[in-house]
Amino acid sequence: MSIPVIITVAITGAVPKKKDNPAVPVTPAEQIESTHQAFEAGASLAHIHVRNPDESPGSDPELYGRVQEGVRKY
């Protein structure tokens, strides 16, 4: 018997920067690609925090819009 599950990913983690983890996606393009890869691997929900140019957590609606648009294309 299989039990249905929902796989959620948090692609950016808490606050890592490239110097902490070179694989962390910080640009909108990297976040879109990382989310796409997670969906291809079976995830159905992604928790994303956009990043400012200095890689700190951001809240810019334009950045969120770019990431959202790119994720929805998949």
Q: What is the pLDDT of residue 26?
A: 96
pTM of the model as a whole: 0.91
Indicate whether 15 pLDDT > 90.
no
Specify the 3-state DSSP secondary structure of 48: coil
Q: Measured between alpha carbons, how far is 7 from 2 in angstroms, rounded to an integer? A: 15
Helices and strands (H, E) in the chain, number of each type: 2, 2
State the pLDDT confidence band at 13, using cuts at 50, 70 and 90: confident
State the pLDDT confidence band at 67, using cuts at 50, 70 and 90: very high
State the pLDDT confidence band at 74, using cuts at 50, 70 and 90: confident
Rounded average pLDDT over 11-25: 91
Rounded average pLDDT over 14-41: 95
